[in-house]
Structure formats: structure tokens, C-alpha cells
Amino acid sequence: MPRHLLDLFELTPDDFTAILDRAEDLKREWSQGQRPARLPGRTLGLIFEKPSLRTRVSFETAMVHLGGKGLYLNAEDVGMGSREPIEDCARVLSEYLDALAIRAYRHELIETVARYARVPVINALSDLAHPCQALADMMTLREEFGRLDGLHIVFVGDGNNVARSLAVACALGGARLTLAAPPAYAFPDDFAARVRSVGRPDTYDHQPDPSLAVARADAIYTDVWISMGQEEEATRRLSHFQRYQVDEALMAKAPAHAVFLHCLPARRGEEVTASVIDGSASRVIAQAGNRMHVQKGLLSWLLA
């Protein structure tokens, strides 16, 4: 059976560290102008139901650097689940490709593909998880602080797919995550319990007051309040999250060394002010750049 990455819960702490180590080695080679063909002749299919900038370009470029090729497959052209049954698509694509990365509205679609595919399947984003983003986040923090163990990350806003994967990544790396969210947007109890079972009992906590949450933060992270597919909830969500904007006043309540993270795209003036995301504490561009490097590490770990 092939190895998949549908959710970070599938990784052990050793797997997690191995992927980050590979990513850092490949980034070091890249920075020195070296791009060794670790996966010559390999092909990665990219099936995207949602628009993408970072995910598509970083995966396609990663495959070029590794000596392979990424093939972008428009979801409508593939017709997975509409023109053809999902299981037929998964089986046929397994005849042509060495791996699949899928960006989907429903996590269940990715799970079904993985059930029938004979090649590794990567979750490139679903409604429940964004594992590749969380790996890049952890790589960025490890570069910034030289470690993950003992770091305190505060996610301000919705306990969404990005926050969920970040929580699991923190547990795998020995860091702590505080979710500063309205109670209705916190993690479900069963998910929180599962995160704590991976890490330590204090690996995750919920603090509704963002000012209190950031007091000992090493990193403050936020994401858009209204994700793709949630447009009908816009008015309600905007009213619930108004006090959760990351601005200079909130950053001032954190330690001076705290950095700011955002998975992008951002809506300046909503979840974050321009002065913060474009300020000296922001690491969002390095964070986005690490998407390519960590995916190179992941691909080589899955396919080597």
C-alpha cells in the first residue's frame, strides 16, 4: 500500500522531523544553486477544485527541481465524481502518475481517492485539513527559532482547516498552540482530545480573549475569516470576529521577539492590518516560500 498524506495525524513525530530535515537539506542545496534530480521521470497529478496560487506553483516547481513534472488537471475536465466515479478516476490515474495532490472542498473526496489509488495521495487542502501549509509553518518557525520544542504559537481567529493542521503539527513538534477564537469557533472536544493525545496535555488550549492569549506567544498566526465556500456566512462571521483582528495593539501585547504568520491570501483591514502583515515582525513571504521546499521534502519522502 502506498503512503499518503491526508492529515498530519498520519505522521509519527519521527516522520514529521524527517520531512522537515529533508526540506531543509533541499532548501540549502537550492540556495547554493544546486537542484539534484531526486525524482527523475516522476509525475505528480494536481487536481484542484479550488483556485490556487501558492499550492499549484509550489508543487509544480518542486517537481521540476526534483527532476520530475507536475501535471495540472482541471477538476471539471477530470470529472471526478460527476462524469466518472471517483474510484474509476483513482484507478486510472494510478496507471499514469506516480503521485496525486488534490485540493478539494470535501475531505471525503480525498479519502475516497486514497482508498482506490495505488500511488501516494497528498491533501493539498480540504475543508478539514491543510497539512502542507502546516509543514511549511513549522519549517519557518524552526528556521526562525532554531527549534520547535517549547515554542508557543497563538492562532487568532477561526478554528478552521489551517488551525487544525497547525495544532497537530505543534503536537508532533513539541510546540504549544493556543486558539484565540470565539467559543463557537473553537475546536470540537473530540478533535482537541486527539491533538492532546499526540502531544502533551498542554499542547493545546483555547483562550477566547486574544489579548490574554498572545501574552507569551513566540508566533501569532491568523487566517481569513471567510474562506472559499463560506461567502453566505460573511455578515455573521464578520460580526463575530471583529475583536480578533491582529493589529499593532495586539502585537504590542506579545513579547518583542514574536513573529507574525499568515497562510495567505490575506484581506488587509479584516483579520490583519497592513502595518502588521507588511511590518518587521512578519514572516509571511518566507512562510509562503517554504511551501515549495517542504513539499519537495514531502515528495522525496513519499516517492524516494
Catalytic positions, written as ranges: 103, 130, 133, 223, 263, 291
Residue matched to cell numbers 471567510 = 226
Cα 104 to Cα 207, 240, 300: the distances in Å are 30, 26, 23
Q: Which three cell numbers stand for residue 194?
A: 486527539
Rounded-to-integer distance, Cα 145 and Cα 259, Å:
10
3-state helix, strand, coil in the chain (%, to 5): 50, 15, 35
Per DSSP, helices labelled H in the chain are 13-31, 54-65, 75-78, 86-96, 107-116, 131-145, 161-173, 189-198, 210-213, 234-241, 248-252, 274-277, 284-303
Backbone dihedral region of 146: left (phi > 0), alpha (psi from -120 to 50 degrees) or beta?
left
Q: Which three cell numbers stand for residue 172?
A: 508532533
> Rounded to 5 degrees, what are φ and ψ at 255?
-60, 155
Rounded-to-integer distance, Cα 148 and Cα 139, Å:
9
Residue list, annotated binding site:
103, 130-133, 161, 223, 227-228, 263-264, 291
Rounded-to-integer distance, Cα 79 and Cα 89, Å:
8
CA angle 188–192–193, rounded 5-degree value: 115
Contacts of 24 (CB under 8 A, 6+ apart): 139, 142, 143, 293, 297
Residue list, annotated binding site for L-ornithine:
161, 223, 227-228
Residue list, annotated binding site for carbamoyl phosphate:
103, 130-133, 263-264, 291
